[in-house]
């Protein structure tokens, strides 16, 4: 259970977009800039998550793996921002209690893994940044849930699709 919670927490942090000083914009979603600093932090966190899951650290990565990591981190940051902005435009909101609950769960998971907590701190990931990320991620999840609730497919439609595409 702990590993599952920690993996979820680490995965959430992997898409963290900090509001650090810009050393250049790597992507822009409407008026929101994703900076080189955002990308650097996301890559560092993803690397830490990968090390936790596989035991393979950054020094063991090939040049191709490093390039793929950067591409995936940038794509994930952009995708998350697009969905977040759409959720806000659609009026999706989240109760502060939900954010507080998830923040507490993440803090507890980090207490149980001090090495990862130190890695986050070493990469400039603050408690405030984690709280902001969780609030944003909760909005994205609420948007996804609302979208899924609107999707209805009958058994007849499933059967017809299956028959047509087997």
Q: Is the pTM of this model over 0.75?
A: no
Q: Is the dihedral of CA 158, 159, 165, 166 positive or negative?
A: positive
pLDDT band at 119 (very low <50, low <70, confident <90, very high): confident
Angstrom distance (rounded) from CA 84 to CA 4: 25
What is the per-residue burial (b if ≥16 Cβ within 10 Å, else e) of 20-52? Answer: eeeeeebeebeeebbbebbbbbbbbbbbbbbbb
Angstrom distance (rounded) from CA 13 to CA 150: 29
Angstrom distance (rounded) from CA 65 to CA 124: 24
pLDDT band at 121 (very low <50, low <70, confident <90, very high): confident
Instruction: Give the start-to-end residue ranges of the domains of the chain.
Output: 2-165
Highest averaged pLDDT of the listed ranges 11-25, 31-45, 70-84: 70-84
pLDDT, tens digit, 9 for 90 and up, residues 87-104: 999 999 999 999 999 989
Is residue 87 within 8 Å of 31, Cβ to Cβ? no
Comparing 110 with 56, which gets the higher pLDDT?
A: 110
pLDDT at 33: 94
């Amino acid at each position: 259970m702990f590993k599952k919670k920690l993996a979820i927490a680490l995965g959430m942090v992997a898409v963290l977009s900090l509001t650090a000083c810009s050393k250049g914009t790597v992507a822009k979603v409407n008026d929101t800039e994703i900076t080189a600093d955002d990308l650097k932090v996301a890559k560092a966190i993803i690397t830490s998550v990968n090390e936790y899951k596989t035991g393979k650290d950054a020094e063991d990565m090939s040049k191709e793996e490093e390039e793929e990591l950067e591409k995936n981190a940038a794509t994930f940051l952009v995708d998350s921002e697009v969905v977040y902005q759409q959720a806000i435009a659609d009026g999706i909101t989240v109760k502060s209690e939900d954010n507080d609950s998830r923040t507490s769960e993440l803090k507890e998971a980090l207490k149980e893994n001090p090495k990862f907590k130190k890695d986050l701190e070493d990469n400039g990931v603050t408690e405030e940044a984690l709280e902001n990320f969780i609030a944003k991620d909760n909005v994205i999840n609420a948007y996804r849930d609302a979208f899924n609730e609107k999707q209805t497919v009958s058994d007849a439609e499933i059967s017809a699709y299956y028959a047509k595409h087997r």
